[in-house]
Copies of this chain bind each other. A is one copy, B any other.
């Protein structure tokens, strides 16, 4: 029984169409593409924000660091996602390619130019930012109040929901997952092992990055989502 669970977290499609930009717009500003090797920086925190990016292929992590190297990954950007969109002139994150990644680049100023004239584009820009905010809000709840098991379960369901494929593929390392969930890589590994032993998921091909969710509703039970009303 593969019952797909509908969660509060949206798939975050963030496709270009959301800009209201499909069609003519692409031609106007001339999209360029760029390939990033695994673990290379796409842009750094506090760098001037020149481009907005869309993941064509691969995966991206954006994160902040503390002075002693502690890292918090705020989001993973998967195929189709738009990232690096800033209101100020500088990036608030560092973005790195998790695996070899191809991204489309759009000049930030050209978007702003269109947004200033076109209310639809401007509205879509706001709605994309709001979606990011919504994700951040849910993630605060996870980081502030959820247990290790709940965090990992929520992460798997989020990835499952976003990729849409039958199996969940995790291009990122255990350390990346840990830094996204506010845990250590050992804890992530232990929780995944226990979920595997509990029969909730299976590692495919003996690959630890490719996971089959055997029972999404039971996995959802491991996560304890918010109630409708207080």
Interface residues of A (CB under 8 A from B): 41, 44-46, 64-68, 70-72, 74, 86-88, 92-94, 115-117, 119, 122-123, 125-127, 129-134, 136-141, 143-146, 179, 181-182, 224-230
Contacts and interface: CB of A to CB of B under 8 A. Distances in A.
Interface centre among A44, A122, A137, A139 (most CB of B within 10 A): A137
A227 B122 contact: no
A87 B128 CA distance: 9
Nearest to A86: B130
Interface centre among A45, A94, A227 (most CB of B within 10 A): A227
A94 B230 contact: yes
Contact of A66 (B64, B86, B93, B226): B226
Given A134-B92, A137-B136, A145-B70, A227 B65 contact: yes
